[in-house]
Structure 1
Amino acid sequence: MKFVKTLFISTLSLVFITSCQDSEKSNLTLLNNQIPTDTALIFGKGIVSTNNFEFAITFNPEMDELFFTRRKPEENNEIYTMKFVDGKWSDPELAFFKANQGWDFEPHIDPKGSRLYFGSTRPLNDTIKSSGLHQWYCKKSVSGWEKPIPLEKPFAERSVTMYLTSSGNGNLYFTTGEKEDKPEDWAIYNSINEKGQYRSIKRMGNEINFSGKYIAHPYISPDESYIIYDGEGTSGYGDNDLYISFNKNGTWTEALNLGSEVNTDQTEMCPSVSPDGKYLFFHRGGEDKGDIYWIDFRPIKERIEYINSN
């Protein structure tokens, strides 16, 4: 029976990958020499991924605008952006909302393309110094992205709120901790959109916040059917690995390692999935250097869902 299951999974993956390769074209391929299948490749080598530390990439729904974080040696995090215009991508440039004080990182465009969230240590409102790492957002209007404003209560009450992503109905998922928590003990929380208001935040269950450390950087799918995040556990491949949990009728499955196609003995973190659902993006690297990678997400998701259901 084990052989039959293995053969089925291998055949399913091969058929899926082959079908995905059939003349697949998108704006993303113009930044790369090769479309990834079952092996993760560096995304935008020499353009997006350089000799710096790049992570946390996001795309608008049309996939003709992107934002990502870059940290140069001995410098702070900064958010860069690129646009696809007249058949080609513009060069990376600093986002228009660059902070005059503090630094910005980890952008996320919501599934509707109406809000651009990001983390920042800039001072809140009219204060003269930073009070921590908070979430800000820009609204999208007909003329483009508007001036950023901070997420207020209950988010601003936390000294750290990072890597916020949004589902299609506006529910927010992010990393934070209680006052007494050390960074390695921070966890994944969420906040439910109640007719445009966010009244409370809630720590997610132990299925996601498993008995490891550095559990963080949640990417929630638009329909909330799965969540991908990173953490350091005893069953991992090295440093932080990427994990996935599936929403089964309102109950989250236990953390499932994404496997050796994605995870290595290096650090994998900050996952996101392209708006078309095809590609998984994530950071891979060491302490001071690392790149953004991408891989075909569909066969990985199919494989893990099949194993988890049997």
Structure 2
Amino acid sequence: MLSVNACNTKNQIANDKNSTAEDGLYFGQKPPGLKPEPIERGILTKEGWELGGVFTPGMKEFYFTTTSGDAPLDPSVSVFRNESRGWKKYDFYATGNDTMYSKDKYIERTNSGWSEIKSLGGPFDTIPIMRLTASSQGTLVFDEFTRDGSGLLRYSRLVNGKRESPKPFDKEINTGKWKAHPFIASDESYIIWDSEREGGYGDGDMYISFKQADGTWGAAINFGDKINTDGEDGGGYVTPDGKYLSYCPRCKPPYDRMWVDAKIIETLRPQ
């Protein structure tokens, strides 16, 4: 077990739900409206990260978290793990419950902090996952890296407490090339991802699909030109408090991100 008192991100998020920008949430930035605004990365320093850092017994893993209240925008917990080729960094993201994921790896909250890194095992560890997200019910949604852009988006549910084998989404979601970076809403009401499809604005666009009353997924809806550009857009996710959508426009180095009021999602929901 690992004790990192500074990693109590879940409670921090809960306490900060009603905070203002002046209180320090979102790094003191003024939250955006329905017009996307750039995230001012220049003010996001690494200073203070080491204050929550600790080695696990055996010195094989080093956990740390930021003290600057950045959980809604950046990884909640980061881990350096000593592997065969040296130290590798894992970023774990909050999912609204007591488990955080980084590709096929995860950590769980314990009475004293966070567990050591665990693996989802097969077949997850045989799929070249780039991003994996989870709903509050434990449904996993993830992508697959391929060199030709043919990778699929898949999901895996918890059924009677057991993890089912991954299944590919239907054509509503798995259409086009370079399908990647999915995000499932905490309540499983929608999925956001990016891909290259006919009728898009550029090399890749962000799309959303809403869950239907019968449990199926609706048609892919393009986020439109308020979000998408003539470049490669994607990497979207909604902050754990459900208030803001963050994404990467054009997705070229230095990968500056934008954010916008998550109410923009409701403007896309079919009536």
Fold equivalence (TM over 0.5) = yes
**Map 1:67-146 → 2, pairs under 5 A:** 81-84=65-68, 95-100=78-83, 101=85, 103-104=88-89, 107-112=92-97, 114-119=98-103, 135-146=104-115
Change in CA separation of 1:30 and 1:289 when aligned onto 2, cut-off 3 Å: closer
CA contact (8 A) 1:154 1:198 kept: no
For 1:46 and 1:205, the matched residues in 2 are separated by 41
Q: What residue number does 1:215 align with?
A: 179
Q: What residue number does 1:283 align with?
A: 248
Query: Which residue identity lines up with residue 302 of structure 1 in the other structure?
Result: E
Q: What residue number does 2:27 align with?
A: 31
CA contact (8 A) 1:285 1:291 kept: no
Structure with more strand by fraction? 1
Structure 2 gap ranges (5+): 1-17, 47-51, 53-62
TM-superposed CA distance for 1:170, in Å, is: 0.5
Provide Cα deviations, 1:168-195, integer angstroms capped at 9, x if missing partner. Answer: 1101110127xxx644010110011123
Change in CA separation of 1:195 and 1:47 when aligned onto 2, cut-off 3 Å: farther
For 1:194 and 1:141, the matched residues in 2 are separated by 23
CA contact (8 A) 2:77 2:91 kept: no
TM-superposed CA distance for 1:276, in Å, is: 2.1
**Map 1:114-193 → 2, pairs under 5 A:** 114-119=98-103, 135-156=104-125, 158-176=126-144, 182-193=147-158
Provide Cα deviations, 1:6-46, integer angstroms capped at 9, x if missing partner. Answer: xxxxxxxxxxxxxxxxx972566551442211222222421
TM-superposed CA distance for 1:98, in Å, is: 4.2
Change in CA separation of 1:169 and 1:138 when aligned onto 2, cut-off 3 Å: same
Structure 1 gap ranges (5+): 1-22, 51-64, 66-78, 120-134
Change in CA separation of 1:265 and 1:147 when aligned onto 2, cut-off 3 Å: same
| Root-mean-square deviation (Å) | 3.2
Query: Which residue identity lines up with residue 142 of structure 1 in the other structure?
Result: N
Q: What TM-score does the superposition give when structure 1 sets the normalisation length? A: 0.66
For 1:49 and 1:41, the matched residues in 2 are separated by 20
Provide Cα deviations, 1:39-67, integer angstroms capped at 9, x if missing partner. Answer: 222224214499xxxxxxxxxxxxxx9xx
CA contact (8 A) 1:49 1:291 kept: no
Q: What residue number does 2:42 align with?
A: 46
CA contact (8 A) 2:172 2:219 kept: yes
For 2:211 and 2:172, the matched residues in 1 are separated by 11
Q: What residue number does 2:203 align with?
A: 239
Number of residue pairs the alignment of both structures matches? 233
TM-superposed CA distance for 1:104, in Å, is: 4.2
Change in CA separation of 1:94 and 1:32 when aligned onto 2, cut-off 3 Å: same
Report percent identity of matched pairs: 31
Provide Cα deviations, 1:187-229, integer angstroms capped at 9, x if missing partner. Answer: 110011123322311000000112x110111110111111001
Provide Cα deviations, 1:81-140, integer angstroms capped at 9, x if missing partner. Answer: 42346x9x9xx999233454374456432211x112113xxxxxxxxxxxxxxx111111
1:229 aligns with 2:193: yes
Q: What TM-score does the superposition give when structure 2 sets the normalisation length? A: 0.74
Q: What residue number does 1:124 align with?
A: none
Q: 1:304 aligns with which of 261, 265, 268?
A: 268
Query: Which residue identity lines up with residue 118 of structure 1 in the other structure?
Result: S
Query: Which residue identity lines up with residue 266 of structure 1 in the other structure?
Result: G
